[in-house]
Amino acid sequence: MLKCQELTIRVRDLKIPTIIGVYDQERVTEQVLIWNLELKIRENAIFMSDHLCDTVDYGAVARRLSAFVKAQKSHLLEHLAQLAVREVFEVDERIYKVCLEIFKPGCIADAEGAVIRMSFSKE
């Protein structure tokens, strides 16, 4: 019997509009942040079934993250990331690690934007 050591689910280029930034002009209108998530799961039983309830529903993760981020009005990406990851962990207890990248386009003159990468673990 095969045993999977770890499952990685990736959500790529999730676009979420929100109020983000420290400058007054950033606090007036929503900006679109682009999220890339990597969810790590250790659960061999996932592979024994072909039913959505037996795995991590990445659509549910994306919807919950989007709703959460849209409701926030954070100043710093780092702070928003930490709050958002807590929300992701609550979607499914089988998720033990979340790696994320958030791209904030247009926030730096003469650059496409800024990116932060962070990893969080329950362990």
pTM score, whole prediction: 0.90
CB-based contacts of 71, cutoff 8 Å, min separation 6: none
Q: 7-121 architecture in CATH?
A: 2-Layer Sandwich (3.30)
Query: What residue type is 87 in one-letter code?
Result: E
Q: What are the structural domain ranges in the chain?
A: 7-121
When pLDDT is cut at 50, 70 and 90, the band that residue 6 belongs to is: confident
Q: What CA–CA distances, in Å, run from 66 to 49, 69, 84? A: 28, 5, 9
pLDDT beyond 70 at 46: no
Q: What is the pLDDT of residues 54-95, one digit of tens each?
A: 788 999 999 999 999 999 999 999 999 999 999 999 999 999
